Amino acid sequence: MSHSRHHYAQRRRFLIQGSALGAITALHSLGSWAAAQDTQPGKLPGKGGKPRSAPALFIGHGSPMNAISENAFTRSLNALGQKLPPPKALLVVSAHWLSPGVTAVNVAEHPPTIHDFGGFPAELQAMEYPAPGSPHFAREAIRAVKGVKVVPTSEWGLDHGTWTVLHHLYPEAKIPVFQLSIDYARGPDFHYQLGRELAALRQQGVMIIGSGNIVHNLRATQRGLPEAMRASQDWAQRFDEAFAGALAQRDDKRILDYTRLDAGANMAVPTPDHYFPMLYALGAAGRDEPAETLFSGFHSGTLSMRCFGFGV
């Protein structure tokens, strides 16, 4: 079994076991990595030497092929990475780590690159993103979350919702990265509240990234269509615009109640797996913190590539 297939199999086992991971497992895992050398916490340098919090971002990641593509979206990621001060660590909530019944955090010191997809070119299958993990800040994430037990695990790595984005954002792969899973048995309010609790990590210099897509209906994509500013279908365009309007007003309640955001919500978000990561970035933002659009447009006709950030 290949390295990637092995970790993909581990992912499946983790999802199946999900809620069975209890306090004993958590304590055992904590003991095995708590002695890891701590990264020194602290705010990032800002203008005039004044400290600033790390940003919170939402990135519409789209197809894994973006990892080996040069387009307007990937160029925007590269430019963003050059603009922002490097954070102490990166906490990523990816649409591709779903764990029904449990919220988990990856505490591996050297998280492997997971190729959790098939049918793509060998060049993509061979890519690695050898960033170190961050046991220290993973522990800080566990401490920050008060409303639910966060279970530490090493049986995960960096899935394509993470590394295909970071390959362009921070191509040198030197900044520590750790992922938090999505408890898929929970609703929008739960994920938004977790984002609010994790906001404390921004004060320590940890950038929080949600990676998914605002409009994500794979059955309705039109592969082969070039990237475009507007969607090929009205329902995708309308939902994306409705979301952008609510975000501009920081009408978080409308965003949380996404099934009523637009009449085409059932087509735009048939399942919430790619929508939920956005709620972590939104929750991690202060209530009066404005969102800055980082990129907008569509791939494959209806796949919204909208990206935005707070504190950028």
pLDDT tens digits for range 143-192: 999 999 999 999 999 999 999 999 999 999 999 999 999 999 999 999 99
Residue 6, number of CB atoms within 10 A of its CB: 12
Q: Give dist(CA 276, CA 189) in Å, integer.
A: 10
**DSSP per-residue letters across 92-134:** EEETT-B-TT-EEEE--SSPPBP----SS-HHHHT--------
- Tell me how far apart the alpha carbons of residues 158 and 164 are, in angstroms, rounded to a whole number: 9
> Nearest 5°: phi and psi at 30?
-60, -40
How far from the centroid of its chain's Cα atoms is residue 170's Cα? 15
What pLDDT band is residue 118 in, cutting at 50, 70 and 90?
A: confident
Distance CA 268, CA 287 (A): 26
All structural domains of the chain, each given as residue ranges with its CATH number in brackets, are 3-34+55-310 (3.40.830.10)
Q: Which candidate, 226, 294, 301, 290, places its Cα nearest to that of 268?
A: 301
Average the pLDDT over 265-284 and give the result: 99
Between these two residues, 167 and 12, which has the higher pLDDT value?
A: 167
Burial class (CB in 10 A: 0-12, 13-18, 19+), 224: exposed
Is it the case that residue 16 has pLDDT exceeding 50?
A: no
Task: Give me the mean pLDDT over the 108-137 stretch.
Answer: 95
The pLDDT score that the predictor gives to residue 62 is: 96
